[in-house]
Chain A
Amino acid sequence: MTAAAPSGSDAAASSQAEVSAEIEAIASAYDAVSDAKRVTGETQPRLDYPPYRSSLLRHPTKALQQADPEGVELWSPVFGPRDVDALEADLTIQHRGEPQGERIVVAGRVLDGDGRPVRGQLVEVWQANAAGRYIHQRDQHPAPLDPNFTGMGRCLTDHDGAYRFTTIKPGPYPWRNHRNAWRPAHIHFSLFGTEFTQRMVTQMYFPGDPLFALDPIFQSVVDPAARERLVATYDHDLTEPELSLGYRWDVVLTGPHRTLMEAGE
C-alpha cells in the first residue's frame, strides 16, 4: 500500500480515512525496515510527515549538519526563583473562581540521557481548557472559554529533577488538518536541560485516548515505543482524596556533552 499524495494546500479536502491510510502506509514501511535491521528505533518525530499538512512546506529537506557543541551550546540559560513564582505551578488558582473540569495533578522528573536529574531548570506548560478551547485569540473552536482558566503554568525542577503542576484535564479539540480532524487531549511542555543542545518542546498525552491512531502529530513519531514515551501514566499515589486525579510523566532529554569531557565524573 502506498500513501495517497497530499492534495496540495487545500488539505481540508482530505478525509480522515485518507489521512489514516497515509499514516498506516508510513507505519507499515517503518515496521518492515525496523523488523529487518533496526538496532535502535527512531526516537523523534519525522520532520517530513505529509499526513500533518502544515509540515509540508515547513520541514528542512537537507540532512542536518553534524556539529560538535561549542561555547554557549555546552551550557543552558539559568532560571531561578526570580523568574518563576511557586504559585505559577497551579493553573487552577490564577483567577477569582475555580475553573470548570476535572482537576488533575501532573508530576514527574526531568532527566538527561544518562539518567541524571535536571535540577532547578524551567518547565513551561500550556493547554486547552476542559472544553477543548485555547484562550489564544486565533482559536476559533466554538467551545466555551472559561473565565477562570488561562491554561499556562511554569515551575522550576527541584533537586531530584521533579516538577509538579495542578491543572484541569484538557479536552480534545477539532482542527483543520483534514475533515473531522480532532487532536487527542494533550498538554504542551517546554523543557530546558543542562545544555543548549537538550532544549525540547513536546506534548504530553493521556493514557487510552481513542484519538491516538487518528492523529498525525502523535503518529509523526513512527516508532511505537517512542510514541508511548509521550503518554502519561495514571498514578493513584498522586491522586488526592476528594480533590484530584494524578498522572505521572517523566521526560528524558538527549544526553549532555559536557559530562563526557569531564573524566572521572
Chain B
Amino acid sequence: MTALLPTPGQTVGPFFGYALPFPDDEHLVPPGTPGAVRLHGTVYDGHGDPVPDAIIELWQADADGGVVQRPGSLRRDGHTFTGWGRASTDRAGHYSFTTVTPGAPFFALTVLARGLLNRLFTRAYLPEAADDPFLVGVDVDRRSTLLATRDQTGYVFDVRLQGEGETVFLAYPRHQP
C-alpha cells in the first residue's frame, strides 16, 4: 500500500456549540442507572484559568472490558451502551460524563478547544491501574497527570493544557508532527 500524506488538523474554533453537542452526549448511561459513575474534571490553560470552550470526547471499554461496536451514540435509546460520548466544558471549564467503570485500565480521551490547533489524545487511568506498564514508563514526576482520582460520584480527571502539572498527551506511532 502506498502511504498517503495526512490532511492537517485545525482548531475546533469557538463556534461549535450549536453543531457538535447533541442530546445526552455526555450520558453514556442515563444518570441514576445502578452502577453508573461520573467521570468529570476541569480543563485549565497555562495560567491555571478554566477553559470554557473545550470539548472532551470519551471512548471506553464496557464494564466487562469489551470493545463496544454498537451504533446509537447520537440518538441514545437509554439502554444501549455505545462506549462513546462527548462533553462540552461549562463556563467554569468543567466537563462531566455519566458512564460505567470500564473493565480496562483507562478511559481514552480526546481534547478539543478554541486556541488548540490540533486535537490532543490522553488516557485517564483508573486509580487501581497505577502499576500499568505504560504508566510506569512515563516520567515519574508527570505520571500522576494520567491517573484519575476517586470521589463520591466516580472519578475526577483534570486536564491541564500547559504549565504546572501539564497533562501528558499522547502521540501514536503513525502520527507525524
Contacts and interface: CB of A to CB of B under 8 A. Distances in A.
Contact of A255 (B59, B116, B169, B174): B174
A203 B10 contact: yes
Nearest to A173: B15
Contact of A201 (B67, B74, B84, B119): B119
Nearest to A62: B166
B112 interface: yes
B69 to A, nearest CB: 5
A243 to B, nearest CB: 25
A78 B65 CA distance: 17
Contact of A75 (B9, B10, B69): B69
A115 interface: yes
B110 to A, nearest CB: 5
Contacts of A115: 1-2, 4
A37 interface: no
B153 interface: no
A202 B9 contact: yes
A45 B10 contact: yes
Interface stretch (A19-27, A52-60, A97-105): A52-60
A122 B86 CA distance: 14
Interface string A213-245: 000011011000111011000000000000000
A159 to B, nearest CB: 17
Given A58-B51, A65-B138, A230 B7 contact: yes
A28 interface: no
B78 interface: no
Interface string A71-107: 1111111111111100000000000000000000000
A209 interface: no
A253 interface: yes
A196 interface: yes
B117 interface: yes
B3 interface: yes
Interface in B17-64: 17-20, 45-47, 49, 51, 57, 59-61
Interface centre among A73, A225, A256, by most B CB within 10 Å?
A: A73
Given A126-B16, A135-B18, A257-B172, A61 B114 contact: no
A252 B4 contact: yes
B14 A138 contact: yes
Contact of B174 (A52, A134, A199, A254): A254
B67 A72 contact: yes
A257 B170 CA distance: 15
A62 B142 contact: yes
Given A60-B162, A79-B74, A82-B72, A52 B108 contact: no
A59 B134 contact: no
A78 B106 CA distance: 19
Interface of B: 1-20, 45-47, 49, 51, 57, 59-61, 65, 67-75, 82-84, 102, 104-106, 108, 110, 112-121, 123, 134, 138, 142, 161-163, 166-177
19 contacts: A43-B6, A61-B46, A65-B171, A72-B59, A72-B61, A72-B83, A80-B71, A82-B75, A83-B73, A116-B1, A126-B20, A135-B18, A136-B17, A136-B18, A150-B18, A188-B10, A190-B12, A200-B9, A252-B6
Interface of A: 40, 42-47, 49, 52, 54-62, 64-84, 111, 113-116, 122, 124-126, 128, 134-139, 150-152, 154, 188, 190, 196-197, 199-203, 217-218, 220-221, 225-227, 229-230, 250-257
Given A69-B173, A250-B7, 5 more contacts: A45-B118, A64-B175, A80-B71, A188-B12, A254-B174
